[in-house]
């Protein structure tokens, strides 16, 4: 057998690492960075045991890894333990230059402002058993490039395994801005059983007025492309102007309120079906949308189908808004299977 104990310390300076097609530059102005690994390699069994790999950069990241690699097995990796004792994301990104790195084509690190602290454990054991425990606080995320999302004060604990054992978790944030729509603080509990996530209730307040409630949220096969999501949704009266910002405009050309009650919302394979309906109080009347079906809701050109019912719309208020003359009276109508 071959036993090894290797240690490395960088007191001050810079280093360049090549990882695949990406480069990581460490600019260490003060303090020391240490890395050491202890293990052995069994020549006869062709088995590598890493008892402990420790990477320490005080105040920035403390990481320990253990692993077992069986080079006679097709699976190769027999076990892995990753113990992230502390990771200050903001300090890490200011010390380790990842400006050219990318998680995927949609997440190039230089296009995001990230901060907060994370600690956790990831375990892979024999026969494919996986488990994850993570604690995080003060997480801030901002999309600097497309300005689609900004998240402030994300915190919580996530507990998950791919077994049939139920795990409880909690997550919350101080402020969320999604497509220019501002939302206030929210915090909720959820349960995981393998690839199934269950959330009893999520309350998301809109700024300055309104609240979205998602109840009995159930996501099955969450890690698969054919994941199935079911929930009930209710939107209390919310100003149209608050939601209109999703279009990229500063404000809505009309004033009014939107509310919804959808006892059944289902999503699978790019298709969202909504039981119940949406009510829009507009032009001193009511517009109701029912039997809604949306194809590719997360795509560039989502397709919406359903029924529209118009009740008591004030034509004078409508014509004043769009400035094409003056028409008085009220109108009712119904459109079936619009697209």
| pLDDT 10s digits, 157-194 | 999 999 989 999 999 999 999 878 889 999 999 999 99
Task: Name 307's Cβ contacts closer than 8 Å, sequence gap at least 6.
Answer: 289, 290, 291, 334, 335, 336, 337, 338
Question: Taking all residues of the chain, what is their mean pLDDT, rounded to a whole number?
Answer: 85
Between 263 and 13, name the one with better pLDDT: 263
Instruction: Look at residue 131 in the predicted model and tell me its pLDDT.
Output: 95
**Neighbour-count burial for 26-49, b at 16+ CB within 10 Å, e otherwise:** eebeeeebeeebbbebeeeeebbb
Instruction: Look at residue 19 in the predicted model and tell me its pLDDT.
Output: 54
pLDDT band at 75 (very low <50, low <70, confident <90, very high): confident
> Would the pLDDT of 120 be above 60?
yes
Give dist(CA 197, CA 23) in Å, integer. Answer: 36
> Would the pLDDT of 63 be above 90?
yes
pLDDT band at 331 (very low <50, low <70, confident <90, very high): confident
> Would the pLDDT of 103 be above 90?
no
pLDDT band at 276 (very low <50, low <70, confident <90, very high): confident
> Would the pLDDT of 302 be above 80?
no
Give dist(CA 17, CA 95) in Å, integer. Answer: 13
Distances (CA, A) of 175 to 67, 141, 155: 39, 11, 11
Write down the residue that tokens 């999703």 correspond to: 246
Instruction: Look at residue 264 in the predicted model and tell me its pLDDT.
Output: 86
Instruction: Look at residue 197 in the predicted model and tell me its pLDDT.
Output: 96
Classified as helix, coil or strand, 244 is helix
Mean pLDDT, residues 2-27 taken together: 71
Instruction: Look at residue 214 in the predicted model and tell me its pLDDT.
Output: 95
Instruction: Look at residue 171 in the predicted model and tell me its pLDDT.
Output: 97
pLDDT band at 320 (very low <50, low <70, confident <90, very high): confident
pLDDT band at 256 (very low <50, low <70, confident <90, very high): confident
For the stretch 287-296, pLDDT in tens is 888 888 888 7
pTM for the structure as a whole = 0.80
Between 145 and 153, name the one with better pLDDT: 153
pLDDT band at 209 (very low <50, low <70, confident <90, very high): confident
Q: Which helix (H) or strand (E) holds 330?
A: strand 330-338
> Would the pLDDT of 33 be above 60?
yes
Nearest residue to 60 via CA among 38, 23, 34, 36: 34
């Amino acid at each position: 057998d071959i036993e090894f104990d290797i240690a490395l310390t960088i007191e001050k300076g810079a280093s360049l690492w090549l990882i695949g097609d990406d480069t990581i530059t460490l600019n260490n102005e003060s303090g020391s960075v240490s890395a050491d690994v202890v293990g052995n390699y069994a020549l006869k069994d062709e088995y590598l045991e890493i008892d402990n790999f420790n990477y320490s950069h005080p105040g920035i990241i403390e990481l320990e890894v253990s692993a077992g690699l069986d080079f006679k097995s097709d699976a190769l990796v027999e076990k892995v333990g990753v113990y992230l004792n502390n990771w200050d994301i903001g300090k890490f990104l200011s010390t380790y230059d990842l400006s050219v790195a990318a998680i995927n084509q949609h997440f190039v690190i230089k296009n995001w402002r990230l901060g907060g602290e994370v600690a956790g454990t990831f375990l892979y054991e024999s026969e494919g058993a996986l488990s994850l425990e993570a604690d995080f606080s003060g997480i801030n995320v901002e999309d600097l490039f497309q300005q689609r999302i900004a998240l402030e004060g994300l915190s919580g604990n996530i507990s998950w395994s791919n077994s049939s054992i139920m795990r409880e978790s909690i997550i919350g944030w101080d402020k969320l801005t999604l497509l220019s729509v501002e939302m206030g603080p929210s915090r909720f509990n959820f349960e995981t059983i393998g690839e199934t996530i269950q959330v009893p209730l999520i309350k998301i307040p809109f700024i300055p007025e309104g609240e979205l409630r998602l109840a009995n949220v159930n996501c099955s096969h969450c890690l698969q492309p054919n994941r199935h999501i079911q929930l009930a949704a209710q939107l209390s009266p919310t100003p149209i102007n608050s939601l209109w910002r999703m279009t990229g405009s500063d404000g809505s050309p009309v004033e009014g309120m939107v509310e919804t009650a959808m006892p059944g919302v289902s999503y699978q394979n790019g298709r969202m079906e909504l039981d119940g309906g949406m009510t829009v109080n507009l032009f001193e009347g009511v517009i109701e949308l029912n039997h809604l079906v949306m194809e590719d809701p997360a795509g560039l050109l989502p397709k919406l189908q359903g029924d529209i019912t118009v009740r008591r719309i004030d034509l004078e208020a409508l014509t004043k808004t769009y400035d094409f003359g003056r028409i008085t009276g009220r109108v009712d109508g119904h459109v079936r299977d619009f697209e």
